[in-house]
Structure 1
Amino acid sequence: MRTELAFSTDDLARTRFAVSPMWEVVTSLRVLAHRAVPALHRPWAAQVRRAAEATGPAVRRLAALVPAAGHLPDFLTPVPVGAAPALAEELAVIAATPPDRVRADLGILAAERGGRLPAVLEPLHRDPAGGLPLLVADIEAYWEFALQPHWARIRALLDADVLHRARQAAGRGSAQVLDDLHETVRWDGGALRLEQRHCAVQRLDAGAGLVLVPSVFAWPRVLTRTLPPDPPQLAYPARGVATLWESGPVADPAEALAAVLGRSRARLLAELDTPASTTELARRTGLSTAGTSQHLTALRAAGLTSAQRAGHAVLHARTAVADALLAADADGRATDAAGRAG
C-alpha cells in the first residue's frame, strides 16, 4: 500500500524534529507484544519481561492498549511540545485527553478485535476521566523498570540522530533529509510518499508542518500519526540503533590511520559514523571516560571532530576532513587486498 502526505512551502518551513519519551513507551510495548522479538532488542526484552512479572495488572492493561499489530491509540502520542519534552509533560497531556478521543481510539481497537474490547480496558472506556489517572500511573510504572534504566543511552542515540539530520539539512537541504529517513519514505516534489504501509494515512485538514520523531523501538518500521488539527507525526528508526545494546571494545576498522593518530584516536573516529557523547564513546571502545575526553580534545583541535550541545549532553561528530581520511584508508586497504589477490 502507498500513501502520500502533500506538502506546501509552509509545511516544509514548519517541519521539525522531536525526541519523545511516549513514542518510545508505545513502540517498546509493541516490541514486547511480539512473540518473536527482533534479535536487536532481545537482551532488553528478556530483562524487561522478567521485571514485568511483578507489576501484575499494570502491564496487562498497557499490553491490551498497545497490541502487536493494528491501531496505535493516537492519544498516547500527543504532539511533542518543543524538541525534547519530559515524560511528565507528555503524561500531563494524556491525562487531559477529552473522553470522546479516548473512546474513539478504544472503539478502533475493539473493531479490530471483532467488536469486543479486552476486559481490562472496559473501565477506561466507561469512564475515561476516571481511568486516565490509572493509565498514567501504569505508564510511569512501566517507564521506571523498562526504559528509565536505559534512557541515558537511548536519549544519546536519539539526540545523535537529530544532530546528524540537522547537519544534513544544513549541507544538502530539507528534501534530502526527508528522502533519507527510511527506505519506505521518499520525497517526491511536493509530497512525502510512504510505501509498504499496513493502513492508509490521510492528510485531510491535519495541521501544518511535520514532526519527525527518531525512535529506537520503531525499527524496522516507520509509524505515523495524523490526527487533525495536529500536525502529522512520523516516527522513524534512529541511525545507529544496531549498536544500542552493544558493550565492550570494538574492532579497529582504521588500521592505517592508527599508525598516524594512534590506535585509540583512530578507533574513536571510526565510531563516529553517528554523533555520540564522550560517555557513549568510552562505553563502545572500552577506553576510560577521561582518556576518551582527552583524545576527543586533540581530535577537535586538529579539525577532525566537532562538538555541539544537545540537551544535557555534548555530542561529538566527525568533520568532512575526517570522513575523507577514513574513506582514503578504506580505499587503500581495498587496493592492497586486490593486489595481493592478483
Structure 2
Amino acid sequence: MVRVHFTEGDYARVRFAARPSPVPELHAALLMLGTPHEEPLLGRWRGRLLRALPEAAGPLADLVPGGAAPAFLDVLGETREDGFSLIRSAAPALVRSEIARVYAGRRRVPPWVRALHDGDAESWRTLERAQRAAYETVLAPVWPRVQDLHRAEFTRHALAVAEEGMGAALTALAPGSRLRDGVWEWPGGGREVRLGGRGLVLLPTFHWRGSPLVQDLPERPVVLAYPAGGGLPPTPDGVAVSPEDALAGVLGRTRAELLLVLSEPRTTTELARRTGVSAATASAHASALRAAGLITTTRTGRSVHHTRTPLGTLLAAPAAGH
C-alpha cells in the first residue's frame, strides 16, 4: 500500500497539474512497455511499439536494470524541451548516487552509463538522443489525445473539489483509496511518503496502470502520477476529442457553451440569447457553474453580470482557442 502522510499545511498545497507533462508521461509509457501483460489489447499495444522503437532508444533500458529508474529522471516541465533540460541540469552528485543505487549489486555496467556517472558530455547526448527517439515513436503520435484526456481529468477534479471538498476529490482519483487521520492510502505498492509541508502535485498519466508513481525529492513538492483514462493507453487510431467536446463531456453542452461565451462579463439575458436557451435555463446553469467555482456573479442595480473566475478561464482557454 502507498501511504501519503499529510501535515495540516499540506492540504492547502495540493495542486493538480494544469497541463500534461511529456517526460513523465513518456517514462510511464516506457515502464508499461517493459512490463509483460496478459491482457490481449495491452499485449498488442506493447508488441506494436516494441517493434517500432528505433535502435537509438535502446540506451534507455540500461538506466532501469531492475525496473526502477534513477531519481534524476524525475522531472516535470510543460514541454518536452523543458523536461530534457531539467534532466540535463541534475546535480552531478545526484546523478552519481542514483546510478550507483540502481546498479548496486550488479557486475556489469554499460560503458556509456559509467561515462554518464562520470559526467561525460557525450553520454548525456546519448541519453538525450534515446529520449527523443522514444518520444517520437511512443508519445508524439498520441500527444494531442493525451492533452484532451488531461483536460477532461483536470476539469473533473476541479469540480469534485468545488462540490465535495479536497478529501473526497483525492479519494475519487483511485477506487479503493481512502483518507483518514491525515494519511491517504492507495491499494498496491508499498511505500511511505511524508509530505512534511512540501505539498503535493497530482499528475494523471494515461499510459501507466500500476500503483502510483511517486517523485519524492528533497525540498521539492512530491509529485504523484496516478493512472487515469479508460484502461488502455491512447493510440493514434483513436478518435480525437476536440477541446470543446472534452469540456462538454464534463460540464454538459449548455454549461460548456455558457463558460465559453463568458470571454467578457455578460448578463443572464445575453447568455440566454447567445446559447439559445431561456433566461431561466441560463440562470440555472450559471448557478451550477458558480457553485463549482468557475464563474462569479455580481448585481448592479437591476442587472446581473457573470464573469469567469481564473479557474473557469483556465478550463475554457483550450476550447476557446481551438
Task: Return the TM-score normalized by structure 1.
Answer: 0.66
Alignment of 1:74-153 (within 5 A): 74-78=71-75, 80=76, 85-111=78-104, 114=106, 116-127=108-119, 130-153=122-145
Aligned to 1:62, which of 56, 60, 63? 60
Contact kept? 2:156, 2:250, Cα under 8 Å: no
1:113-155, CA deviations, whole angstroms, 9 ceiling, x for partnerless residues? 6354345522222325553233122212211122111100111
Instruction: Select 2:201's aligned residue among 193, 207, 211.
Output: 211
Residue by residue over 1:252-302, the C-alpha shift from the partner in whole angstroms, topping out at 9 and shown as x without a partner, is xxxxxxxxxxxxxxxx89x936999x9xxxxxxxxxxxxxxxxxx779997
Secondary structure of 1:12 counterpart: helix
Q: What does the per-residue CA deviation read over 1:205-235, in whole Å, with 9 as the maximum and x for residues that have no partner?
A: 7661001110011214311121111111111
Counterpart position of 2:303: none
Deviation at 1:174, TM superposition (A): 0.7
d(CA) in 2 for partners of 1:223, 1:243: 16
Where has structure 1 moved over 6 Å in runs of 4 or more? 273-276, 297-308
Q: Give the match for residue 72 of structure 1.
A: 69
Q: Partners of 1:206 and 1:129 in 2: how far apart?
A: 36
Q: Which digits, 9 at most, give the CA deviation of each residue in 1:20-76, with x for residues without a partner?
A: 211111111111112337545445434322321xx32x3221122235x64222211
Distance 1:273 1:219, change over 3 A: farther
Matched, 1:158 2:158: no
Count the aligned residue pairs. Answer: 265
Opposite residue 34 of structure 2, the aligned amino acid is A
Q: After alignment, is 301-310 or 128-137 more displaced?
A: 301-310
**Corresponding residue number in structure 2 for 1:237:** 227
Q: Which residue of 2 aligns with 1:228?
A: 218
CA displacement at 1:189 relative to structure 2: 3.0
1:24 alignment counterpart: 25
* Unmatched segments (≥5 aa) in structure 1: 249-267, 279-296, 316-342
Contact 1:109 1:117 in 2 (8 A): no
Partner of 2:170: 178
Please identify, of 298-307 and 152-161, the stretch whose mean Cα deviation from structure 2 is larger: 298-307
Structure 2: which amino acid aligns with 1:154? V
Q: Give the conservation status (yes or no) of the 8 Å contact 2:36–2:43.
A: no
d(CA) in 2 for partners of 1:177, 1:102: 36
Amino acid in structure 2 at the alignment position of 1:210:
L
Distance 2:128 2:2 in 1: 33
Cα 1:130–1:247 change in 2 (3 A) is closer
SS at match of 1:183: coil
- Could you say which structure has the greater relative contact order, defined with CA pairs below 8 angstroms and 6 or more residues apart? 2
Partner of 2:296: none
2 CA distance for matches of 1:185 and 1:72? Answer: 25
Contact 1:103–1:128 (CA<8 Å) still a contact in 2? no
Aligned residue type for 1:48: L
Contact persistence 1:99–1:128 (CA under 8 A): no
**Distance change (3 Å), C-alpha of 1:77 and 1:298:** farther
